[in-house]
Structure 1
Amino acid sequence: MAGGSWTTQNKVLPGVYIRFKTKGALGLNVGERGVVTICEPLSWGAVAKVTEVTPDMDLTPIIGYDITDPKARFLQEIFKGSNRTSPPTRVLLYRPSASSAAKATVTEGTLTATARYEGVRGNDISIIVTALTEPEDSFLVSTVVDGAVMDQQTGKTVEDLTANDWVTFNGSGALSATTGAALTGGNDGTVAATAYSTYLTAIEPYKFDVMIYDGSDETVQTAMLSFIKRMNDENGQRCQLCASGLSAPDTRYVIHVNSPVKLADGTELTKEQAVWWAGGASAGAKFNESLTYAQYPQAISTQMRTNDQYIQELEQGNFVFFAEDGVVKVMQDINSLVTFTEDIGKIYRKNRVVRLLSTIANDLYAQFSANFIGVVNNNEAGRARFKTAIVGYLQQIQAEQGIQNFSPDDVEVLAGQEIDAIVVNLALQPVDSVEKIYLTIEIS
């Protein structure tokens, strides 16, 4: 299905084409946000595959460590949410391929055990083979990770064993007892920039709200920025990139984090690592929620600026934190847009507005594609059905305080220049959160 933005009515492919401008019978439902994607070099897990992770899942079989481990810090931060917004519901995790990556392995007697995945986590695995008195000539084979038994099987020969979440077994013949054989040789390898290009190809078919990049490679940054712009402008999927260290991105499609943070447990996160929380919180925030002054949970300090420096950061389109009474908060929920035009005005620098418009665009795209294109007649009655659906949808958005002062007259559904085309014009007034309060106190 084609989609994206339009300027003139010259599209060839059937699709839903949506244009935003700043203005001086089938129903539509408000969709949910909350999907993050990240390409993260790991020490365990499936390579070059998109894996869906939810907050309640056991991460150990997926990344080799549970959620409390420092190796899972990036997911801890992504799933935190804020004091006023929910965390994301899903992370589309991708482990990139790496040169020189290797699986840990060990051979004892007739048995060879090999880690299921490449990476140094495989070096934490041991295989213990214990002789049993019953059944006779049988053995208990235990797979142990960091001292914890993850799998146990009983057999007489290597052929009796089956692979588990941690190792595969090879060899032939009778088993023999060992007190513990550690796997060795596991290596994470080196991730090249080209692996991120493979990731972008793999993730394109998926729907997500925020893509996180926690690195500083300029080639990868450029590729991801181009990808996000194409997803919005050509594919019709409204999403944002959350990253740090880009050179003047100047687009509503990028949340540009420029603050490190220190956590209560003493962990210090660089500004590149702070994108984990910022990206997760941005995806979890709904179309009627703002992160301005929202608290970063368990963060206690950050790089502080003077008021003039904070003003400069905001004017440069940077997403920054400040600390107040041992609590870290977002200074202002903005994206990197700093150049404004007649069509894309200053209002688009606010991420709450972008989330609103992204929700509307993604909902109209998905539901029009599924229920309207090729189904509804392009005549007066058919266009009336389009309008009725849109009006009902926007009234739902207004009821949830996403827009204000909306009336059915703000929706136009007109015949297009060709027999199979329609033009939809919407006039919307977004609701923003109160960010500036001016008080006058008179004393007599």
Structure 2
Amino acid sequence: MIQILPGTNVTVQAGERAAELVATGIVAMPFALNWGDTVTEINASDDTLYSLGYKRSDYTGAGMKLVAEVLHSADKLILYRSNTDGGVKATGTVVTGITATAKYVGTLGNDITVTVTASGESWVIKTLVGTTEIDSQIVTDESEFVANDFISVSGTGTLAAASVKLTGGTNGTPRSTEADLWLAEMEKYTFNVIAYCGSTAATITALRAFVADQRAKNNMIQAVMSGVAADNVAIYNNTVGGGPDDYDLSALEACSTIAGLVAEVGITGSLTHHQISWWTKVSPSLTHTQQETAVQSGQLIVALIYGVPTVVYDINSLVTYTDEAPKDFHKGLIMRTLDNYAMNLQKLLDTKCIGKIRNSVEGRAQIKAKVVKLTTENYLNPGYLEDFTADDVTINAGTDSDSVVATANIKVADTVDKIQITVIA
């Protein structure tokens, strides 16, 4: 702007913002359900009646107790419905020529009732699931009806008082390629933890390969399965079930619980001696010796500690230690912190440095300053790391004119998990 008159002109501009951190608290899982789309994203505060056909407090529907377990802790669930193939949508003849059809395949469609009642010269069409009214529309003829979350109406006819319960709805069955379809779909979404509550060998193999592939691409996800001695820093092997008073969970099903907990604590804390406050029981109940054996073999277990179901030790399935995977990589908190740091470092460099900073001495100094700031503000100051200084970051020119080599030496601050006390009386 050219200033003509004397005086001060002030312009407010947006300065550089801190790099946004990667999302946390998100779980991805496959479910066999009675209702719903192929993929549904559910936040912890969402009512699942309209998306899954059941309220969160209704555990009678297939898979609903597992949904509840995840969302007790996780911020968000990315749900993949694995039993749509070959399923049938429920239908019902409202009046001659007019048919109501369920939105999704599944047996929940058989619980849908459509009623038509007169209202002056118009008609009130109501949709109920069980005894719960979920939609009411006033129309003069069927063409004015707008499809809702449960039904659509087709055909032509003369509206009249009626009440029809839909029938013929069936669930589908998982295809032989369902695991591959699920994992291919999940590549489109962002999440931290992926869990599987089944025991199909092909799915377990596919999931292990998926996790390895994603981590090779610096998408540092972790998986929760049961009975899988993976010997892997990215896979938790849960082997104990339990549950609240309302239902029981096998060790396989309890992977939903553990997945939610892992997503919830992230880098902010350890699951060691973390109480599962809504559980009232564990199964099997392990002796002290059995707990020691389980931990030594890389199992994540839950036990009654002071009468409360509690995660015994926050560990992944790693049991073979090498220079590349040392013993402390066996700790869940340490690996979650390292994984989170790696992803946030990549996001910082991708969004704030690539294509924006010249590969010069001054440019590399800028990159170092950004890395130091990210590490200090988001990891050192909150206490997730210790003994970090700017000297722990080096940014050097790479072989190519447009490349740099960055190194960040960090030390995760673990929790106190073992205390030896000598009492002298």
**TM-score, normalised by the number of residues in structure 1:** 0.87
Contact 1:26 1:371 in 2 (8 A): no
> 1:196-245: CA deviations, max 9, x gaps?
21121111132211001111111011101100110001x21111011113
Contact 1:120 1:186 in 2 (8 A): yes
The verdict on how the C-alpha distance between 1:307 and 1:119 changes in structure 2, with shifts beyond 3 A counting, is same
**What SS does the corresponding residue of 2:136 show, helix, strand or coil?**
strand
Q: Distance in 2 between matches of 1:369 and 1:381?
A: 18
> 1:361-420: CA deviations, max 9, x gaps?
111112211121121111211111111111112212111111111111111111122222
The aligned counterpart of 1:15 is none
Letter in 1 for 2:394: E
Alignment pair present for 1:291 and 2:271: yes
The aligned counterpart of 1:376 is 357
The verdict on how the C-alpha distance between 1:385 and 1:321 changes in structure 2, with shifts beyond 3 A counting, is same
**What SS does the corresponding residue of 1:152 show, helix, strand or coil?**
strand
Alignment pair present for 1:342 and 2:333: no
For residues 233-382 of structure 1, the aligned pairs below 5 Å read 233=216, 235-246=217-228, 248-265=229-246, 267-302=247-282, 303-382=284-363
Alignment pair present for 1:150 and 2:134: yes
> 1:74-105: CA deviations, max 9, x gaps?
22111223xxxxxx222122223533201000
**What SS does the corresponding residue of 2:253 show, helix, strand or coil?**
helix
Q: Distance in 1 between matches of 2:413 and 2:33?
A: 41
The answer for unaligned runs of 5 or more in structure 1 is 1-24, 82-87
One of 150, 170, 173 as aligned partner of 2:157: 173
Q: Distance in 1 between matches of 2:322 and 2:19?
A: 31
Alignment pair present for 1:45 and 2:36: yes
The aligned counterpart of 2:71 is 79
Give the alignment's Cα RMSD to 1 decimal: 1.6
Contact 1:131 1:140 in 2 (8 A): yes
**What SS does the corresponding residue of 2:164 show, helix, strand or coil?**
strand
The aligned counterpart of 1:17 is none
One of 43, 49, 55 as aligned partner of 1:66: 55
One of 207, 216, 223 as aligned partner of 2:190: 207
Count of residue pairs the alignment pairs up: 404
Contact 1:323 1:329 in 2 (8 A): yes
Letter in 1 for 2:253: Q
Contact 2:23 2:190 in 1 (8 A): no
Contact 1:44 1:64 in 2 (8 A): yes
**What SS does the corresponding residue of 1:438 show, helix, strand or coil?**
coil
Measured after TM superposition, the shift of residue 345 of structure 1 is: 0.5
Identity %: 29
**TM-score, normalised by the number of residues in structure 2:** 0.91
The aligned counterpart of 1:442 is 424
Q: Distance in 2 between matches of 1:270 and 1:76?
A: 15
> 1:91-129: CA deviations, max 9, x gaps?
122223533201000113222000011000100001111
Alignment pair present for 1:410 and 2:392: yes
Contact 1:293 1:330 in 2 (8 A): yes
> 1:284-314: CA deviations, max 9, x gaps?
1131310000011221221222222211111
Which segment is superposed worse, 198-207 or 212-221? 198-207
Alignment pair present for 1:218 and 2:201: yes
Q: Distance in 2 between matches of 1:271 and 1:103?
A: 33
Contact 1:33 1:285 in 2 (8 A): no
Contact 2:19 2:352 in 1 (8 A): no
Q: Distance in 1 between matches of 2:132 and 2:307?
A: 38
Q: Distance in 1 between matches of 2:21 and 2:146?
A: 47
